[in-house]
Structure 1
């Protein structure tokens, strides 16, 4: 059963020199599909171009809260146009980041994008920093049926709350670090049906790869760490992760 990297920014400049080779390396170790979230309106055209060039590349389009200063008032209308064109399997990367500026505007953009996700019947890919509880409330109130928390780093109680709402937890390189005890405990105890894997390439390197560019091939290291902290055998984990990802994004 193949693995799917549910969150990687492969359209970024960090991969311009070897994008095809990087994707081949991932395929060779069983990471056969990638989901690439958008972060600004300026990035969407390149994402579409990459999806035409590379097989098994899926796009999401969204306005990332970290780039709040780059977003324009008309970007929500542009996002609606992008979604209307098709080719998106999710709305994202969207969310709330308490370490960034202008929380009122972040909230306004989040609500507008959640409304679009519901309108187009798409899942959402959520970014969080110190905002997990507020994000869960917003997502549920808007009636979003499918969502994934990118780079989940909350408590066991928060993991269960998201899973109980029918949403998913993105599991990345953090669990490869032995010192990340809170996150490792939360992922170890979370319902298996709520877990999906990701790398956040080129960011969030795995343990031992600090300071190096991350890429989807290294998701096997995340899977190995998950096998260490979970009770299920590897073949059960692999099959569940694949099924969860397909359910989240509506893949066959």
Structure 2
């Protein structure tokens, strides 16, 4: 976790220079023995905190040519960060933005997208859901292993076995349901505890936010107002209140 002015503490770091990111990753590995995940992202949010149109979040060439549904999903996610942001709670912030992308994406597709765009998005989203389900299953198994009474040597061996099985399962998806789609190959090739941890930040509280959206009558204004209220609470109270809405 790293702390900064304005945004508070976050559990990841962003760089515009890949070499600097790799150098810092090497430092963490060498000096602290940590597993690290370094990867590119197509977009980012300034949280709407910078003044003037000149500083507005840009539409970058890294995603502007995405298929319609994917482009809409990504924009909804990044705009979600401008609605509410809780300093020092990455899981809350990213899970909220993921909820917005899912709910907003479904609504946009049903009201604005062409049949072709809906079909294309269904293929993308189907693979993404398979990926999330697979990685979530192995995160749970690894958590159980690490929390067990097994020796460190047994845990290391178990970890290697679980990662190997996860990669084998991903290959089965690739050659089966995904029809040869290789878009996740690089992720699985370098998967480690750090990369699985990042996924947890984006997914962990989504069921709770979805339940809250239903509780607020599927009304975005009411939903946003409640999320903003939660964001202002201390972290423990925020999580307890969000859990009371029906999520984890």
Instruction: Work out whether the TM-score is over 0.5.
Output: no
The structure whose residues are more often strand, as a share, is: 1
Query: Structure 2 length as normaliser, TM-score?
Result: 0.29
State the structure with more CA Rg: 2
Query: Structure 1 length as normaliser, TM-score?
Result: 0.28
